[in-house]
Amino acid sequence: MYNYSDFDEAFVRARVAQFRGQVERRLDGSLSEEEFRPLRLMNGLYLQLHAYMLRVAIPYGTLRSDQMRQLAMIADRWDKGYGHFTTRQNIQFNWPKLTDVPDILGALADVQMHAIQTSGNCIRNVTADHFAGAAADEVADPRPVAELIRQWSTDHAEFQFLPRKFKIAITGAAADRAVIRAHDIGLQIVREGDQIGYRVLVGGGLGRTPLIGQVIRAFLPKADLLPYLEAIVATYNLLGRRDNKYKARIKITVFENGIEAFRAATEAEFARIRPEFTGVDQDILAGIEAQFAPPAFRNTDPAPFAAALAVDPLLRAWAERSLAPHKRDNHAIVTVSLKAHGATPGDATSDQMRVLADLADRYGYGELRISHEQNVILPHVAKADLPNVHAELLRAGLATANVGLLSDIIACPGMDYCALATARSIPVAQGLATHFKAIGLEDEIGKLKIKISGCINACGHHHVGHIGILGLDRAGVENYQITLGGDGSEQAAIGERAGPGFAYDEVIPAIERLLRAYLALRQSRGESFIDAYRRLGPAPFKAALYPQEARDAA
């Protein structure tokens, strides 16, 4: 895993000192609140509904065990003993005091972490496939290049005051676990003959105008990446709209100008910028790649795991949901659900963080990952160790066997924390999870992605949920719109609004009608909700959601 160079170390320390100075200058009046705002935002500090919120980057979702322990320490010392993992591989602390924040940033720097550019109209924390470096299906580990992009974009002089925020995601596999098609720039590492390069998408995004990213370059040679990214962002910086923040994202720039015109402008800029890059970045990338060399995998016999599976139904149920194929046959990728039924999706207490760090040290080569689906991953676990890992997770209350199921819900913080929210999200997620567990249908329903946003900004990715729930405010009353058929994977699709919204207490019954209809309509247990929806179209599902209208029409 990546270790800071002397350059990185000096940079983050200087940055902490700058922010300490900015806080002092805000307090003495040198900086107005309006001027301080973007400066605190580009250091991860928001002003929320009840307090400041500090958003800490977990670059490309990768954490070492000592870093996880430090997050637990920060939660205990400066917050309320918990943190919230977000859909962009960050962790949010909801209750820091402004004057403590420079010290928190210092504590992060002690373990090579930071909160730089986790907010603001700049290039945000680069996200990556949470199975990177472990997945059986990847062409190459995307984390080294994500680190290269992190370095390039950090404090980039030209791109700190873009028209709007800018998000880049990268995957090294055809299976898209990083939602690259819903990012300002999506990158997929691809191989053409013996050459490694990138498929580059631009202009995806959710929010109030959801759009799927379009291919701007089908194959970009590896060495051209930074100048090409720079050309895209420079083109956007000049061309992007600044008259209306709701039309300022690059997806609108691409949509209004057309992909051909945007591509032409980008390619012309690329031709100008490319000669400025001498190739040193590729030497630096090679050094980064060496640091991401896989750990020395232990060569243990997986037979004890198979034997335990045969006799332990709890282990079997957990393994069926929580494990993904590892590139080594005798290892597995373990997803630890942070979605216990009734809990807040993505929240982890400091005790849970320490348990996970200890497990990573004992069984996982000290490595952890955070997924955009708000779970924690142990990317490399020898199969022989899985029974022990499961037993320890059970003791810690972290063995919920619901990964990929109905209750593995993405939900934004919503009205419980967020200043922008128009409705609650967390209680809807909690209510759905506990209800379907109580009626015993969760396992029967099988694979399903429900995603909930508490406002039009769509932090909960509702547009790409198989079932999306969007909470709005209708004359002071919460109202929830349901979208169907969205997909955040390589088969990306924007969900279609099913019809009129539902009151808060009508949401769970509506989802139950919808899913009972699915159970009645599916061809077999193997046909998931999204597959059935694709085969049948929206009509039978809308009829289940709106039985009165269906009767009236009949």
Partner 1 sequence: MSVIVRDDGFHPEDWDGPITDLAPDTDPAALPALADGTGLIRIAFPAFSDGRGFTLARRLRAAGFAGRLRAAGHVLADQYAMARRSGFDEVEIPADLAARQPADQWQARADWGRHDYRARLKG
Would you state the structure tokens that stand for residue 243, as one six-digit string? 């008259």
Instruction: State yes or no: residue 156 binds partner 1 (CB under 8 A).
Output: yes
Stretch of 8-16, 189-197, 249-257, 424-432 contacting partner 1, by CB under 8 A: 8-16
| Interface residue with partner 1, options 48, 52, 160, 513 (CB under 8 A) | 160
- Tell which positions 256-295 bind partner 1, by CB under 8 A: 272-273, 276-281, 284
Closest CB to partner 1 among residues 44, 414: 44
Check binding of 535 to partner 1 (CB under 8 A): no
According to DSSP, residue 479 is labeled E
What is the contact mask toward partner 1 in residues 419 to 448, using x (rule: CB under 8 A)? ------------------------------
Find out whether 378 and 359 touch, Cβ atoms under 8 Å.
yes
Name residues contacting partner 1, limited to 123-152 (CB under 8 A).
148, 151-152
162 touching partner 1, by CB under 8 A: yes
Tokens standing for residue 229: 């990214």
Residue 67 has which token pair?
Answer: 């870093």
Supply the minimum distance, in Å, between the C-beta of residue 261 and partner 1. Answer: 13
Number of H helices, E strands in the chain: 19, 21
Instruction: Supply the minimum distance, in Å, between the C-beta of residue 491 and partner 1.
Output: 35
121 contributes a contact to partner 1 by CB under 8 A = yes
- C-beta neighbour count of 32 within 10 angstroms: 9
Per rule CB under 8 A, is residue 212 in the interface with partner 1?
no
Q: Which of 30, 99, 491, 523 binds partner 1 (CB under 8 A)?
A: 30
Least separation in angstroms between residue 160's CB and partner 1 is 6
How many CB atoms neighbour CB 139 within 10 A? 14
Q: How far is CA 305 from CA 148, 215, 320, 368, 388, in A?
A: 38, 43, 13, 22, 10
Query: Which range touches partner 1 (CB under 8 A), out of 33-41, 377-385, 429-437, 536-544?
Result: 33-41
Supply the DSSP string of 356-406, one letter for each residue.
HHHHHHHHSTTEEEE-TTS-EEEEEEEGGGHHHHHHHHHHTT-----TTST
| 6 sits near partner 1 (criterion: CB under 8 A) | no
Helix H or strand E encompassing 45 = strand 45-47
Query: How far is 451 from 456, CA to CA, in rounded Å?
Result: 13
Judged by CB under 8 A, the residue of 20, 38, 327, 536 near partner 1 is 38
Instruction: Count interface residues toward partner 1 (CB under 8 A).
Output: 42
Q: Take residue 336 and report the two structure tokens written for it.
A: 């630890």
Q: Taking the complex as a whole, how short is the minimal distance between the CB of residue 21 and partner 1, in angstroms?
A: 7
Q: Concatenated DSSP letters for 493-516?
A: BPPEE-SS-EEGGGHHHHHHHHHH
> Binding residues for partner 1, per CB under 8 A?
7, 10-11, 14-15, 18, 21-22, 25, 29-31, 35, 38-39, 121, 148, 151-152, 154-162, 226, 234, 237-238, 242, 272-273, 276-281, 284
